[in-house]
Amino acid sequence: MILVLQKSATEKQVEHILASARAWGLKANVSRGVERTIIGLIGDETEIRSKPLDMLPGVESVLAVLKPYKLAAAEARIGRTQIRLAPIKKGGRPVVIGGPEVVVMAGPCSIESREMLLDIARLVKKAGGKILRAGAFKPRTSPYSFQGMGYAGLRLLAEARAKVGIHVITEVMDVRDLEAVAAVADILQVGARNTQNFTLLKEIGKLHKPVMIKRGLANTIEELLMSAEYVMSEGNHEVILCERGIRTFEPMTRNTLDLAAVPVLKRESHLPVIADPSHGTGHWDLVVPMARAAVAAGADGVMVEIHPNPEEALSDGSQALLPKTFLRMMDELHRVAQVLGRKVG
């Protein structure tokens, strides 16, 4: 249920509504706008309907949220969610995901060496990218493939963050690694293979740390939103959604990048939406045009992979951009964003 409060509603009335919700065993989510405040109530539907919600002081109207994703639904919030990352260094600018700027996340699929990671981190920052992506833990289809550097990779990520002054996003695969990854990453990434790892999602929900959830290999849009709901139901509302391609019958690409998912997610939810054309296509020559298309479709950011020697990459070399191609992509994204009244930040 959504409670739309009167313009004249006082803070005391808001607190009374929240206290009543707690007494009824319901969870409450408050969204304050310039003119209105709305409160989303989560709990047993039968119990909620039996409560005199419209009689609570300060309540103007009561709306039912029919979608299963109550907290992630667009109706649950006034305006769109913006994820704000505080500056790393004094005097720096914060990074805002979900605002007017299109945020670029870029870096190697896997951390392979200290030198390569630092070089790419500097490249990304100089080109205008705001977040370094790099995997310390790598889920692979084959148990014999490179699985990442693990904790040693996390230490290198922390060094790159501090030395270069760039925010980082990296994947967490296991609840046992969550504390260590959260200590380094500005944004936790839940990969496609863990989108429905509900135990992991609930534990991430107990942290006050931004998380980006990638769409599963064969997940519907609703299933992606329900994964976000798992995190949000535990109290963490700093969630980013990522379209990274789904498995279809088409063999010409690694996956099918569902660009229609970008506007659909922005219609259905208030959460920021990122597109990953690297995994979405699996071919480096398709990454740049699909990144352009994602920005044109309204994505709040793109995530791409870079490698100085893709043919020698330990994972996903076929979809990695050369540094020079990445720089060209950044220039093209600037131009597309400008047409839409946005900029690549």
Bridge partners of residue 187, in order along the sequence? 169
Residues 273 and 181 in one domain: yes
Euclidean distance between CA atoms 230 and 109, whole angstroms: 27
Q: Is the pLDDT of residue 138 over 90?
A: no
Residues 281 and 160 in one domain: yes
Q: Does residue 321 lie in a domain region?
A: yes
Of the three residues 37, 64, 91, the one that is the final residue of a domain is 64
Strand partners, 61: 4
Judge if 321 and 194 occupy the same domain.
yes
Is 319 inside a domain boundary? yes
Q: Which tens digits make up the pLDDT trace of 51-88?
A: 888 889 999 998 888 889 999 999 888 899 999 999 99
Distance CA 277, CA 304 (A): 7
Q: Are the beta carbons of 168 and 131 closer than 8 angstroms?
A: yes
* Res 71: pLDDT: 92
Q: What letters, b where the CB count within 10 A reaches 16 and e where it falls short, cover 319-341?
A: bbbeeebbbebbebbeebbeeee
Q: Can you read off the two tokens belonging to residue 167?
A: 């925010």
Q: Are residues 190 and 290 in the same domain?
A: yes
266, 256, 253, 255: which is closest to 301 by C-alpha? 266
Give CA separation, 260 vs 67, 253, 273, in Å.
20, 17, 12
Mean pLDDT of all residues in 95-103: 97
Residue 14 within a domain: yes
Range of the domain at 21: 2-64
Domain check: are 43 and 87 in the same one? no
pTM exceeds 0.85, yes or no: yes
Q: Give the mean pLDDT of the chain.
A: 94
277 has pLDDT over 80: yes
State whether 138 and 35 are in the same domain.
no
Residues 194 and 299 in one domain: yes
Banded model confidence at residue 143, pLDDT cuts 50, 70, 90: confident
**Within this chain, do residues 149 and 60 fall inside the same structural domain, yes or no?**
no
User: Looking at the 3D structure of the chain, how many domains does it have?
Assistant: 2
Is residue 69, in this structure, part of any structural domain at all?
A: no
Q: Taking Cα atoms as reference points, which of 131, 168, 135 lies closest to residue 150?
A: 135
What is the full DSSP assignment across 233-260?
Answer: HTT---EEEEE--B--S--SSSSB--TT
Instruction: Report yes or no on 76 lying in a domain.
Output: no
Q: Is residue 78 part of a domain?
A: no
C-alpha closest to that of 156 among 175, 132, 191: 132
Q: Is residue 194 domain-shared with residue 151, that is, in the same domain?
A: yes
201 and 131 housed in the same domain: yes
| pLDDT confidence of residue 66 | 80
pLDDT in tens, 166-214: 999 999 999 999 999 999 999 999 999 999 999 999 999 999 899 999 9
For the ranges 1-5, 32-36, 147-151, 169-173, the lowest mean pLDDT is seen at 32-36
CATH number (domain holding residue 246): 3.20.20.70
Cα–Cα distance for residue pair 160/341, rounded to 1 Å = 32
How far, in Å, CA of 111 to CA of 138, rounded? Answer: 10
Same domain, yes or no: 44 and 124: no
- 77 domain residue, yes or no: no
Tell me if 75 is assigned to some domain: no
Fill in the DSSP letter of residue 73: B
CATH of the domain at 13: 3.30.70.1140
Instruction: Look at the block and give the residue holding tokens 């909620």.
Output: 48
Same domain, 300 and 180: yes
